[in-house]
């Protein structure tokens, strides 16, 4: 983890990353088609970006609750109770963000842990090589990352099978909650497959033109919508 903060801080900002949205959409079906049935139940792809920089002793950790999650940089992390759910490829696959084991909502951690166990298997290692090679072939290894679909406990409580990501209580704290309202212009940043056909049905979307004053919505002009249709 010595180079973790340098790798994370090297990610493009959201403003920079959203310029690549169309490039991702053009190739996403090719990428999703590479996933086996088992892999489709766990993985998808992400438009790589960051919301903030971190210090060399910080780790970006998601803490799940019953109907929402909080994501923020954390110090003095117990590595035994976190597992990664987002990765980028930079000579090797590197973890970017982690989910913490939570008594309130253990399934998010369990799903991400299952994904990590798969990546550590022989099949998983082959999968990692295959995805990295394809991203390099497409010249998108700095643009697209590998993501785990671990937030179904939130999306299932949404009127739109979706989740809403907002900044609140400071510029380096994010809240993931069920989306029950439609927003305007968005940028899709997460892509997960649908069942067995490999087509994309779920994406985290960012709306940069909407402001709210409550903690449950946007305080910093940055809203992210994740749709989960199963």
Which string of DSSP letters, residue by residue, matches 32-90?
Answer: HTT--HHHHTTEEEEE--BSS---TT-EEEEEE-SS-EEEEEESS--GGGEEEEEEEES
Residue 150: the pLDDT is 94
- Give me the residues of the chain with pLDDT under 50, please: 196-203, 207-230
Kindly state the greatest CA–CA separation across the chain.
49
Structure tokens at 20: 């690549």
Residue 79: the pLDDT is 93
208/78 Cα distance (integer angstroms)? 34
For the whole model, what pTM was predicted? 0.85
Structure tokens at 26: 């053009």
């Amino acid at each position: 983890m010595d180079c973790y903060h340098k790798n994370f801080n090297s990610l493009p900002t959201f403003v920079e990353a959203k310029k690549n949205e169309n490039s991702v959409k053009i190739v996403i079906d090719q990428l999703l088609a590479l996933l086996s049935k088992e892999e489709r139940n766990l993985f998808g792809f992400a438009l790589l970006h960051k919301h903030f920089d971190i210090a060399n002793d910080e780790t970006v950790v998601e803490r799940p609750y019953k109907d929402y999650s909080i994501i923020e940089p954390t110090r003095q992390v117990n590595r035994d109770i976190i597992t990664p759910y987002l990765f980028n490829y930079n000579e090797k696959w590197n973890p970017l963000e982690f989910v913490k084991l939570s008594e309130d909502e253990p399934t998010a951690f369990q799903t991400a842990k299952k994904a990590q166990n798969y990546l550590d298997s022989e099949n998983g290692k082959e999968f990692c090589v295959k995805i990295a090679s394809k991203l390099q072939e497409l010249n998108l290894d700095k643009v697209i990352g590998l993501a785990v679909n671990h937030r179904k406990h939130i999306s299932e409580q949404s009127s739109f099978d979706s989740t809403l990501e907002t900044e609140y209580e400071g510029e380096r704290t994010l809240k993931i909650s069920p989306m029950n309202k439609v927003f305007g212009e968005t940028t899709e940043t997460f892509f997960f497959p649908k069942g067995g056909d490999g087509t994309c049905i779920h994406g985290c979307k960012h709306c940069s033109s909407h402001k709210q004053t409550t903690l449950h919505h946007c305080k910093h002009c940055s809203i992210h919508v994740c749709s989960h249709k199963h």
